[in-house]
Chain A
Amino acid sequence: MTTATDTTAQPSGTLRWALADSWTMTRRGFAHWARQPVQVVVNLVFPVMMLLMFAYFLGGGMTVPGGGDYKQFLVPGVFALTMAFGLEGTMLAVTQDLNKGVIDRFRSMPMAPSAVLVGRSVLDMLQSALSLCALIGVGLAMGWRWHGGIAEALYAVGLLLWLRFAMLWIGIHLGMVAGRPELVQAVQILVWPVGFFSNVFAAPEHMPAWVGAVAEWNPMSATAAATRDLFGNPGAGGGSWAADHAQLLALCWPLLLVAVFFPLAVGRYRRLTR
């Protein structure tokens, strides 16, 4: 046979090829972005729009527990919400990819099986990091400020991306479970009540007692409260244990979610070959 066959017949399990293949899959995603610049912009604009709508249409009527400017309360909340809503994008991308014929070619090739999922992760984390940058920029333009040190601010950004990372694996798993893009729509609708069932837009103190209690335990609330605290924005803390330990929960919630959904997602992806 040809040299092309012989010199490359090495096991795909080696880390080197796993990294190279993951990078190739990431480049594929960049090429998609280059083909769909409008989609990329829409993805960046949507959370910014949410921020502006809540700040200027509804913000006038909102009160912040302990007093303070609603915008200062809202901006970190929208950061957390955007990270959580990243779930939809991941799920849709995974579902679309698995329904394309090209996945059969990937699977009939000697590439590292992990590369498809790693490529997806890198792209989605990058997309969310860009969204976060855009939101921070718009937030600053609106008058939002952070009052802590640079280390606290970076820690807050880290916690936000950590939540996004957990959502990534939920999205990958649900995307494979749903299987068809039509089913993704159902999840996209369900994401909304879950998103609002939190302290993102309103303080749980102002909700009916049991609703507020559940909202405080929402993983998104933990991240939002922790980032408010780290940025020195109003509305952090409160009476309950969950509110007082927001930073701990902002670390543990995503950890728990990753611990559950990462093995589920990887296992499910492996079983595609059965």
Chain B
Amino acid sequence: MKLYRVFYNTHQYRDMSDKPRRASRLVPALSEDDATDRLRAVRDVEQDRCKPLFGMRYIGIVHSAVPATPSGKASE
């Protein structure tokens, strides 16, 4: 697995009638395409959870994935 940041649109309303906002998430995946597919795969599951969880927004269009690099600032 590698680490990717996947960019997508979020919406306040389930029917996505509002103006989308750009968002991104970190996704462990095998490739860029796999990363976007993984986010699409959980979209329907998450939609069901959105309402009870404050602050969550619906996932709209999933755009692209780029490799993400950990900062490495781990040691305390």
Are both chains from one complex?
no
Residues of A whose CB lies within 8 Å of any CB of B are none
